[in-house]
Amino acid sequence: MQSSAQTVHRALFAPEIDNPVKTIDLPIAGSSSTGQALQLLIALAEIVDGDRRSVDKFDDDMDGSQTLLLLKSLERVFLRMVGNQTSSLGLHPLVWFYTAQGRHYEPLFLAITSIISEKLRNNQSEWFHSFTSHRANIETFLVENKVVITLLISALGSKSRVNGAKSALTTIFEASQSGQELSINLLADKMGLQSRLYSIQQKPGVNFSDEARSSAFVRESLRAALKCPICKSFMDTTKSASYDHIIRKEDGGNGGTDNCQITHPFCNSGVKERENLRAVATVGELSSQQE
């Protein structure tokens, strides 16, 4: 139990965060201060609970077995989001969990956690491949429209924001996968906030606030950020990185620098391996036809 708890804590809160933001090595769950962390962990427990109960409906856990199951569920979800294990998507915190001003935004974090938890619970492995295929387009839209997206979500009541963020992300995913044009108008319409869209404005003062400094840092950091050569989306190599043979060892590739590329772990183990298997199958079919 202690090992699982430590894994979850590191995945969520390492490293400690300072404001204004001056590094891209950020925790996916924001600050680990006692009050915030406790409320966040309660919300996360309710999200990954297989019976989808509110925390007040949880049974007393006399021997710790239910707590261990819950920790394992949390660990499974977060190791899908970040980390170096082969199934990790390596989500970049600045892209997925922070505002354009460098503030951790809990509704987005809980929304993507809920979506991934549901996909894992329902064994929807194909979703992760589809997501990766469209990820670059999705992330570009998020980065370019983060200010308006977070303001739209914040326009909802506090108890509706996580579901609103989940609706926004689901709309983005589905539109990208279907080839539909992504737009802020589409999101606002799906969220029932079309009338609010035109009233959302920001009026900065004459002096740079901490948020303005953080926003500039976020913008420039993402411009310079490394991108995965397989899916073409953002990488945070401080949390997730896999070293890939450009030419596979099976095809004669060596271990030299020129044959090494840094990718998301899932892109290397899941996406690339699937493409290789398809290529082998195609060659086999062609050979059979020629015979």
Count: domains in the chain? 1
Alpha-carbon distance of 287 to 25, in angstroms, equals 49
In a domain, 190, yes or no: yes
Q: Can you give the pLDDT at residue 198?
A: 72
Sequential pLDDT tens for the chain (291 residues): 778 788 888 888 888 776 666 777 889 998 877 667 888 888 999 999 877 788 888 888 888 888 888 889 999 999 999 999 999 999 999 999 999 988 899 999 999 999 999 999 999 999 999 999 999 999 999 999 998 999 999 999 999 999 999 999 999 999 999 999 999 999 999 888 888 777 765 555 556 667 777 778 888 889 999 999 999 999 999 999 999 999 988 889 999 999 999 999 999 998 877 776 555 444 444 455 555
In a domain, 288, yes or no: no
In a domain, 282, yes or no: no
In a domain, 95, yes or no: yes
In a domain, 281, yes or no: no
In a domain, 275, yes or no: no
In a domain, 198, yes or no: yes
Alpha-carbon distance of 218 to 41, in angstroms, equals 26
Q: Can you give the pLDDT at residue 280?
A: 44
* Token output for 208: 């740079």
Alpha-carbon distance of 172 to 125, in angstroms, equals 19
In a domain, 277, yes or no: no
In terms of residue numbers, what domain contains 9? 2-266
Alpha-carbon distance of 70 to 64, in angstroms, equals 10
Alpha-carbon distance of 144 to 154, in angstroms, equals 18
Q: Can you give the pLDDT at residue 286?
A: 44
Q: Can you give the pLDDT at residue 111?
A: 97
Q: Can you give the pLDDT at residue 284?
A: 45
- Cβ partners under 8 Å of residue 31, min gap 6: 13, 16, 17, 37, 104
Terminal C-alpha separation, the chain: 58
